């Protein structure tokens, strides 16, 4: 089976309707045609008919409708010896834009793209998650509007917003739920507020879910099912299923593995209020504490991490030893995840994994020792190739998926001319 087909269902799966314009029902043929064009899987009428199994006349009728509404464009490419010159169908740049936001403890990434997910502009704002939603969200919306203006897209409506947060997220309600050390965010209606600010439906998701989606769609060798494990200030996991969608669980809490209790550390207090959590003994914060290094200075939230990464890159034996110890603790939990979910790829992400091989090596050794079975026979364990960009890329992937879902296309048609 072709890899791309394996990853993506023929039609995007339905998701909970986000706040925004009510969707109108979309004819199946029209949705099929638009999906093939949006995914660049077919760019001509003949190709669409062949791939969809729809009659040529039906395809022609749907394309005329999408052209009339300005959602797709048809351009002449090259020359034909006889007959009509070849034409190619693409999503119109005028059809709208997508805005994505990725909030982290250190900074906030913002990007605007066209409906295909092709980047128009991006920026990194000096806004940390601790800034709180009342200040952060309006500042982000303002930056999105400025980026659109600077790139001549003022008249192009924002069709979908996606916000990634370093917190457990209620995906249906679009708000973070009881995030440790994020004052002001608990239960804050992030989706509703962004919809109010940018006039577009908004999805809110956990940061590692988006990183996993970015790795699965755009990373190299990221075969699904893909498990992404992020080791930073906290520890979290995101799982992209064989169908190419994020496994969020019943309440959006899937992957919150940092608060798994590890044996032998009952005296260590975690930011969540419990003791002996994986995050409390093996996150970057725990490694810094073990090395007696301060986490941040008043003007630099990433001071400790930067110094740690320098020490690791220089082969500092004590720092490498602490990372190796953390890797053993993380490996025990990862081995259990591998046995439970049988991923094809395990991506290790975060600054320490980027700075040295020690974390990957120790996790890999524990996983193969503990989970030696059918589940590890073809398992690839590797570090992220997208690095810090994975989250923002995943947010774009989710925004595109949502835009061309049945609900999204309904809204697109409902508001197009
Ligand atoms: Zn905890």
CATH label of the domain that carries residue 73: 1.10.10.10
Q: How far lies 355's CA from each of 235, 290, 315, 348, 378, in Å?
A: 17, 18, 10, 12, 26
User: Which pLDDT does position 73 carry in this prediction?
Assistant: 94
Sign of CA dihedral 385, 388, 393, 395: positive
Contact criterion met (CB below 8 Å) for 239 and 162: no
The band of 80, judged by pLDDT with boundaries at 50, 70 and 90, is: low
Same domain, 16 and 101: no
Distance 340 CA to ligand 1 centre (A): 21
Model confidence pLDDT, tens digit, residues 285-297: 999 999 999 998 8
CA distances in angstroms from 29 to 35, 49, 392, listed in the order given: 10, 10, 32
- 345 CA from centroid of ligand 1 (Å): 26
Per residue in 173-185, pLDDT (tens digit) is 999 998 887 889 9
pLDDT of residue 3: 38
**Per-residue pLDDT tens digits for 92-129:** 988 999 999 999 988 999 999 999 999 999 999 999 99
Distance 260 CA to ligand 1 centre (A): 7
Are 234 and 340 within one domain? yes
CA 155 to centroid of ligand 1, rounded, Å: 46
Last residue of a domain, one of 94, 126, 154: 94
- What's the rounded mean pLDDT across residues 364-389? 91
* pLDDT(42) > 70: yes
How far, in Å, from the CA of 275 to the mean position of ligand 1? 7
Ligand 1 centroid to Cα of residue 266, in Å, is 11
DSSP H/E element including 339: helix 317-341
CA of 16 from ligand 1 middle (Å) equals 29
Asked whether residue 287 falls in the same domain as residue 320, the answer is yes
Please indicate, yes or no, whether residues 79 and 197 belong to a single structural domain of this protein.
Answer: no
Both 120 and 136 in one domain: the answer is yes
**Judgement on whether residues 396 and 332 belong to the same structural domain of the protein:** no
Sign (positive/negative) of CA torsion 176, 278, 220, 354? positive
Same domain as 56, residue 107: no
**For the segment 142-161, what is each residue's pLDDT rounded down to a tens digit?**
999 999 999 999 888 999 99
351 and 300, same structural domain?
A: yes
Least confident of 112-126, 208-222, 310-324: 208-222
Tell me, in angstroms, the distance from the centre of ligand 1 to residue 284's CA.
14
**What pLDDT is recorded for position 416?**
57
Q: 269 alpha carbon to ligand 1 midpoint, in Å? A: 8
Note whether residue 335 is domain-resident. yes
Last residue of a domain, one of 31, 64, 94: 94
Number of H helices, E strands in the chain: 16, 13
Give 10 Cα–ligand 1 centroid separation in angstroms. 40
Q: Does residue 121 share a domain with residue 87?
A: no
- The answer to whether residue 365 sits within a structural domain is yes
The answer on 350 and 256 residing in a single domain is: yes
Lowest mean pLDDT of 23-32, 132-141, 267-276, name the range.
23-32
CA of 226 to the centre of ligand 1 (A): 24
Query: Considering its fold, how many domains does the chain have in total?
Result: 3
When pLDDT is cut at 50, 70 and 90, the band that residue 87 belongs to is confident
Does the pLDDT value for residue 13 go beyond 60?
A: no
How far is the centre of ligand 1, averaged over its atoms, from the C-alpha of 233 (Å)? 12
Å from CA of 372 to ligand 1 middle: 28
What is the per-residue pLDDT for 7?
40
Angle between helices 317-341 and 358-370 (to 10 degrees): 40
> From the CA of 153, how far away is ligand 1's center (Å)?
44
Domain contains 194: yes
- Measured in Å, residue 262 CA sits from the centre of ligand 1 at 10
What separation in Å is there between the alpha carbon of 168 and the centre of ligand 1? 12
Instruction: Look at 19-23, 143-147, 207-211, 267-271 and tell me which has the smallest mean pLDDT.
Output: 19-23
Any idea what the CATH number is for the domain that residue 231 is in?
Answer: 3.30.420.40
Query: Do β-strands 108-114 and 119-125 pair in parallel, antiparallel, or remain unpaired?
Result: antiparallel
Q: Which two tokens stand for residue 222?
A: 């990221």
Structural domain range at position 100: 95-210+391-415
Higher pLDDT, 348 or 26: 348
Examine the domain organization and report whether 203 and 227 are in the same domain.
no
Does the pLDDT at position 76 exceed 90?
A: no
On average, the pLDDT of the chain sits at 90
271 lies in a domain?
yes
In-domain check, residue 215: no
Domain annotation covers residue 193:
yes
- Domain boundary, last residue among 58, 77, 94: 94
CA distances from 213 to 16, 196, 271, 290, 391 (A): 18, 26, 27, 32, 8
Answer whether residue 149 is part of any domain: yes
Q: Does residue 233 sit in the same domain as residue 206?
A: no
Query: What average pLDDT score do residues 240-268 get?
Result: 93
- Asked whether residue 71 is domain-assigned, the answer is yes
């Amino acid at each position: 089976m072709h890899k791309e087909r394996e990853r993506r269902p023929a039609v995007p799966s339905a998701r909970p309707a986000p706040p925004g314009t009510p969707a109108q029902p979309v004819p199946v043929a029209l949705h099929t045609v638009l999906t093939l064009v949006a995914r660049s899987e077919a760019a001509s009428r003949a190709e669409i008919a062949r791939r969809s199994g729809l009659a040529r006349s039906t395809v022609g009728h749907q394309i005329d409708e999408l052209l009339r509404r300005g959602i797709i464009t048809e351009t002449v490419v090259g020359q034909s010896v006889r007959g009509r010159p070849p034409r190619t169908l693409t999503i119109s740049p005028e059809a709208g834009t997508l805005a994505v936001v990725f909030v982290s403890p250190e900074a906030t990434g913002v990007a605007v793209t066209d409906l295909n997910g092709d980047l128009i502009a991006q920026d990194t704002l000096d806004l940390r998650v601790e800034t709180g939603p009342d200040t952060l969200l309006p500042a982000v919306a303002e930056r999105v509007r400025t980026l659109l203006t600077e790139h001549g897209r003022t008249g192009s409506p924002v069709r979908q917003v996606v916000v990634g947060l370093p917190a457990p997220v209620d995906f249906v309600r679009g708000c973070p739920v009881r995030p440790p050390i994020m004052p002001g965010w608990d239960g804050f209606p992030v989706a509703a507020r962004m919809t109010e600010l940018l006039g577009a439906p908004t999805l809110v998701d956990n940061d590692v879910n988006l990183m996993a989606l970015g790795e699965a769609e755009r990373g190299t060798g990221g075969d699904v099912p893909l498990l992404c494990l992020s080791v930073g200030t906290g520890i979290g996991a995101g799982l992209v299923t064989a169908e190419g969608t994020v496994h969020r669980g019943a309440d959006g809490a899937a992957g919150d593995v940092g608060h798994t209790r590890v044996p032998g550390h009952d005296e260590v207090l975690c930011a969540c209020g419990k003791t002996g959590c994986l995050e409390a003994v093996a996150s970057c914060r725990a490694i810094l504490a073990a090395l007696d290094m301060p986490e941040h200075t008043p003007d630099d939230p990433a001071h400790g991490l930067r110094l740690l990464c320098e020490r690791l890159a220089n082969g500092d034996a004590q720092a490498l030893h602490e990372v190796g110890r953390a890797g053993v603790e993380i490996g025990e939990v990862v081995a259990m995840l591998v046995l439970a979910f049988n991923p094809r790829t395990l991506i290790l992400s975060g600054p320490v994994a980027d700075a040295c091989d020690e974390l990957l090596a120790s996790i890999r050794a524990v996983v193969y020792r503990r989970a030696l079975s059918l589940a590890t026979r073809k398992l690839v364990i590797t570090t992220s190739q997208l690095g810090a960009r994975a989250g923002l890329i995943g947010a774009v992937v989710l925004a595109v998926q949502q835009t061309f879902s049945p609900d999204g296309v309904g809204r697109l048609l409902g508001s197009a001319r």
